[in-house]
Structure 1
Amino acid sequence: MPNYITILPEQLANQIAAGEVIERPASVVKELVENSIDAEADSIEISVEGAGVKSIRVADNGRGMSADDALNCLERHATSKIQTTEDLTKIHTLGFRGEALPSIASVSRMEILTRQKDDLSGTFLSVRGGKLKDVKSQGAPIGTTVMVRQLFFNIPARRKFLKSAETELRHITRSVMLSGLSHPNIGFRLLHNDRERFNLPKANDLMGRILTVFGTKTADHLIPISGEHASVSLRGYIGRPNLTRKSRQDQLTFVNGRPFYNSVIHHAIREGYATAMPHGRYPFTVLFLDLSPRMVDVNVHPTKREVRFGQERLIHDFLSDLIRQTLLEPPFSRSELTQSDEGLADSSSVIDQSPPPKIPQSTPRPAETNQTRRGLWDPHQKFRSDMKQPVLPLRSSSAPSKTEGENEPNILGLANQSEPRHKDDSNEYFHLNNLIQINKCYIIAPVKSGFWVIDQHAAHERIMFEHARKSLRENLTQSQQLLFPLTLELNPSEFQIVQEYHELFEKLGFGIRFFGGSTVVIDSVPISLKNSQEEQIFRDMIEDLCQYDATKLPVEDHILATYACHTSVRAGQELTQAEMGALIDTLFSTPQPFVCPHGRPIILQFTYDELEKRFGRH
């Protein structure tokens, strides 16, 4: 009988292991930096070219390696971190598997130069695709320098699936930033194509490092937090409820000095803030959990991104309770912790709440014929409004209402649509005079076959998106100068985004000046931004670009979707009949009236047949 099972060659086995451990250039940087930290270095320099694909160089001033150790480190599962099975339950180092260096060496051209303090000379090794090419003694500074060139040169399929250079560089920047936050006593310097991206000098404490990475404005809104319970201790900083983010990107958590992700911990953070955090927003946190290595398993993910806790419920309750108690301490007021979602919807709206100016009547429509229906509007007939006209704000909910039948100004500056539109009887019609708003969020529009439910925010979002896209493409955007320019201190990843997409921000109407370090000054903003929400909107746009996936949307559409979301009417805003009619009218003049720019539905249709079935009339 033939045999089918064979033992893989060592080089192929290393390449398979590299597929799990080394996903992208940032994975190489992470593994090499962690080795430097474990080697007790207090200065680490990372230099990359071509976003790490061309080369990655990590140099430290740590313990270094002897000649024998330098050779052994290229063997799979060769490590100085653990010796026995029992050691797996008391891991105090960042690395421990002994997989990183052989995995990196198998998919690149790698060189290692290392020297220990008491050695007269260092050791140089050269490896190509996992095969040792050269070993020799050579003069070297104390510590270790690893040079990785032509990453994935022998696995073209893996190289093909890498993202753009900008995206890969952002991942590298974030990886180094996380290492810098978890080890403020170590200096970090990152260079790309011989240009310094950021420099984190050694700090005396965590707050010193936070100030360097995020700036004073963010640091001023942080609250120190600390506590202990049942051999679990927590330290770090949490943001006040007014310091929020659009995603969990700045919800940073570390366990025993290791950055990690755990859904239970993120749920505990959310529960700790409770109603203090607006819906859809996330708090800023830099939290360090310190506990016995026996209580946490860091060996559940190839890249050690995720961890598993032995007593998740205990840690969850301890964390959420401590956050809640910390937020209640002076000078924090209880009122800040009991904001309702309804109140937040109004306060976070970027729609101008002042009464709009009078708008001229729209162009009269053709006279009614026998085939038209009074009070009905055909959603399938394209009504092309002048998209060059600036989109006007909603009236204030406190403004005096107008009498029925009077031409009211509305969201898009259109007069009340009371004239009918012609369409064949087989098609749908909206009864513009019978629109109903429910929950200050949805519009009920009766149609011939039943009724439609329209999400007012999603509908206006589509309108604003198309308006902004047209303005951007035709260079019609308008800016307003800020009386007091905004000064924003960004973290390295955010600053990189602004540099990369500076031209796009300028086209949108943001006037940006680089002010040194990671600081930018915004002198002007798009004219449609109101209510002093400019900084939050700008930061949200940066966050969205940090997570941008070029395979889903063009970058312009991606950022315009965020812009449209913030400049659209919010849930909780009451609309008049005229405003609802104008919203629907203009929605169906857009190319895609049924889906918002983020891909969510705008309209749900319900037929009379469905209702009759539900009520048992069939």
Structure 2
Amino acid sequence: MSKIIKLPTKIISQIAAGEVIERPANIVKELVENSIDAQADKIHIIIKDGGLNQVYVRDNGTGIPENEVLKAFELHTTSKLFDDQIKDVQTLGFRGEGLASIASISKVICKSKNSSSHKVNEITIEGGDLVKQQTTIEKSEKSWTSVKITGLFYNTPVRRKFLKKTATERKRIIDMVTHFALTYPNIHFILEEEAQNKFTTRLESPSRQSLLAVIFDVLGSDIASELIVLDSKLKNWHVSGYISKPNLFRSDRSVQFLCINGRIVRHQELQKKIENAYGSQLMRSAHPILVLNISGPIDAIDFNIHPQKSEIRFKSNDTILSDLSELTRTTLDTNAELVILPLKKVPIKDKIGTQKMDDLFPVTSDSEDISHLDTELIQEENSSRTPSTGDIYKQLSLSDNKQVVSKSGIEILGHIMNKFALAYANDELWLIDIHAADERVKFEYYEKGSQRTVLSQQMLQPISISLAVGEKQFILDHKIELEKFGLRISNDSDTSILVHSTPVYFDQEISELSIKKVLLDIAGFFGETVDDQSIVESPLNKIEYGIVARLACHGSIRSGYPLSNEVIAKVIDNLLKCTNPWTCAHGRPTILRLPKSRLEGWFRR
């Protein structure tokens, strides 16, 4: 064994820097936080090659006193923490590690002018070593600071190899600056990228009086127009910001911006709590858009968990997570509404016949996210042969049913493609997904019956269902929950179970195949969630929720079969009685509505 030695300070700094600085976006975060702590109201960021070759930040903050510029880059030096104030720190920076970490793995040029002096103090540091220090004179009374970073990881090439492509690192920086802009609407942020002496503005957020105005600036009008205000006092906490309507979501959490006491943070438990509050209004694997600012007691949060200061921990007895989840749920219930199909304007100059169907009747911008849904939940038969013109006409034609008006006053026009219903209501054309609508009805039947055993239909002779050992065990382990919702089972053999009854709401033909599909789907759900038994915001717990969602889906009216207008009317009447009629149990929309004005707009009436 080699002799144990104490590592040199320079090596220690480079090792520690890896915890603070992993990529260019971390540099941007550290420098911008310093600018905010310096009370800047304008922050200008310039990057090259996605930040891989340069990060430059200039602000109009208070500046650094002339004899302290070099000291600012020494490890564990700070102007923001004194004595034993770590539990009461109110600034973004306080550890005294950010600038020192940046300087140890890059080349730095820092210039700063304090309002109390005309001197501009400049230092150049490479790999943690001072290379140059000079002072110039500037007549202006204004204070400012600029920091230019080049050669990131030039002295630790192994770490540089782990950086992503330019486009990926650029996006991380844009996301970071976006997060800052949404956290500090009163600050003017400019992000530019330089290439061959040309500058491209990647993001600009002028100083605004309202958060919503910044959302329009940095996230766009499509998102800003589909948000719901969240503003409430939750005991010692104040929550303000916006959450998206259920029809607006993403396949990941990249558009979730969370700020706690002015600090950009990640908190998966909190984000999950909010998502769970959407319940069945949100599709599986879909994530709502969040822009939330939470403020409260400083001593109720621990920011000093990780050197990047982006992870936090709440006091164990704080109820903010459950309170915020309940606030989200009630806010969504209060603002529940139908989905309106968006209008895409078609240029007049386009000739008739050259427009694609998707141009005239656009799919919503989030349609690609539906691919993340578990499509096996809906067992549909898809023909592999190419349909003829006659087939297409037959599918698009309305059913030959007589006209029916439902009890709720909805005029049923017909059934198309053996899948969707057309209806007329209050100068609007409604397109209804009958399977999704009936699924929502069945789901709420089960949900409301969760306080008692759901009625079941007894079989004259039990049906034996063959399953793999693991699948069978998952099913038997949840026998009590299944019986609660009308599915009574017992053990048959090592690889099979007996099904004695099914729920009265199960409208499909009772067969070995139909029941096996339900059981396999439920077994798959148990397998996915066996290690995660968190509670969904519903009268049902997560296991019950999964069972009910699958029973409702498999037991509802199937696509591919003709329906009478009378049956459609009953489904719609029942749907409109539901607590949340606008989505099925998996978050798919049940109804799209086309107002008269929208139709007239399409036809330029």
TM-score normalised over the length of structure 2: 0.58
Structure 2 CA distance for aligned equivalents of residues 50 and 139 of structure 1 = 33
Q: Secondary structure at the match of 2:68?
A: helix
- Equivalent in the alignment of 1:156: 157
Aligned partner of 2:367 in structure 1 is 537
Is 2:311 the partner of 1:306?
Answer: yes
Helix, strand or coil for the counterpart of 2:67? Answer: helix
Aligned to 2:119: 121
Q: Deviations 1:98-122 (Å, cap 9, x if unpaired)?
A: 1011111111110110011110211
Which one of 78, 81, 91 corresponds to residue 93 of structure 1? Answer: 91
Q: Is the 8 A contact 2:346 2:359 kept in 1?
A: no
Cα offsets for 1:140-166 (capped at 9, x unmatched): 562110011111111111111111111
User: Which residue does the alignment assign to 2:215?
Assistant: 210
Q: Aligned equivalents of 1:227 and 1:73: distance in 2?
A: 40
State the 1:226 CA deviation: 1.4
Q: Is the 8 A contact 2:42 2:188 kept in 1?
A: yes
**In structure 2, what is the equivalent of residue 358 of structure 1?**
none
Q: Does 1:132 align with 2:130?
A: yes
Contact persistence 1:126–1:132 (CA under 8 A): yes
Q: Relative to structure 1, is the Cα distance of residues 530 and 205 closer, same or farther in structure 2, using a 3 angstrom cutoff?
A: closer
SS of residue matched to 2:328:
helix
Letter in 2 for 1:117: S
Q: Does the residue aligned with 1:96 lie in a helix, a strand or coil?
A: coil
The answer for the alignment partner of 1:110 in structure 2 is 108
1:77 corresponding residue in structure 2: 76
Query: Within the alignment, does 1:52 sit opposite 2:25 as a pair?
Result: no
Look up the SS of the partner of 2:31 in the other structure: helix
Q: How far off is 1:36 after superposition? A: 0.5
Return closer, same or farther for 1:571/1:254 CA change in 2, 3 Å cut-off: same
CA distance in 1, matches of 2:61, 2:179: 19
Structure 1's 569 and 100: CA in aligned 2 closer, same or farther, altered over 3 A? closer
* Other structure's SS at 2:185 match: coil
The answer to whether the 8 A contact 1:62-1:144 is kept is yes
2:180 corresponds to: 179
Q: CA deviation at 1:6?
A: 2.7
Aligned to 1:65: 64
How far did 1:139 drift?
3.2
Q: Say whether the 8 Å CA contact 2:111–2:120 is kept in structure 1.
A: yes
SS of the equivalent of 1:70 reads coil
Q: 1:571 to 1:55 in 2, by over 3 A?
A: same
Alignment deviations for residues 340-392 of structure 1 (CA, whole Å, 9 cap, x no partner): xxxx9xx99xxxxxxxxxxxxxxxxxxxxxxxxxxxxxxxxxxxxxxxxxxxx
Match of 2:517 in 1: none
CA displacement 1:258-301 (0-9 Å, x = unmatched): 12111221122023222222222221111111011100111112
Aligned residue identity for 1:50: D
Within 5 Å, which residues of 2 pair with 1:511-526? none
Per-residue CA deviations over 1:311-367 (Å, capped at 9, x if unaligned) read 4650111101111222233xx24x76xxxxxxx9xx99xxxxxxxxxxxxxxxxxxx
Closer, same or farther: CA 575–236 of 1 in aligned 2, 3 Å? closer
Contact 2:248 2:366 survives alignment (8 Å): no
- Does structure 2 retain, via aligned residues, the 8 Å contact 1:248–1:282? yes
In the alignment, structure 1 residue 142 sits paired with structure 2 residue 143 = yes
Q: Percent identity?
A: 33
Aligned pairs for 1:160-559 (under 5 A) are: 160-193=161-194, 194-311=199-316, 314-329=319-334, 332-333=335-336, 484-485=345-346, 532-537=362-367, 540=369
Alpha carbons 1:295, 1:311 under 8 Å: kept: no
CA distance in 2, matches of 1:258, 1:309: 14
Aligned CA RMSD, in angstroms, stands at: 3.3
- Partners of 1:171 and 1:95 in 2: how far apart? 21
Gaps of 5+ in 2: 348-353, 387-465, 473-492, 498-605
Distance 2:468 2:224 in 1: 54
3-state SS, counterpart of residue 113 of structure 1: strand
Q: Quick one: distance in 2 between partners of 1:77 and 1:569?
A: 50
Question: Which residue is 1:470 aligned to?
Answer: none
Between the aligned partners of 1:569 and 1:225, the Cα distance in structure 2 is 31
Distance 1:273 1:569, change over 3 A: closer
Q: Tell me the alpha carbon deviations over residues 579-601 of structure 1, each in whole angstroms, 9 at most, x when there is no partner.
A: 3899xxxxxxxxxxxxxxxxxxx
Deviation at 1:195, TM superposition (A): 1.8
Q: Is the 8 A contact 1:25 1:168 kept in 2?
A: yes
Measure, in 2, the Cα distance between the counterparts of 1:179 and 1:252.
9
The code of the aligned residue for 1:13 comes to I
Amino acid at match of 2:35: S
Structure 1 runs not aligned, ≥5 long: 337-343, 349-481, 487-522, 541-561, 583-604
Q: Which residue of 2 aligns with 1:614?
A: 495
- After TM superposition, give the deviation of residue 483 of structure 1 in Å: 7.0
> Are 2:257 and 2:290, in contact at CA under 8 Å, matched by a contact in 1?
yes
Equivalent-residue separation in structure 2 for 1:528 and 1:574 (angstroms): 26
Query: Aligned residue for 2:32?
Result: 33
State the TM-score, normalizing by the size of structure 1. Answer: 0.57
Distance 1:294 1:173, change over 3 A: same
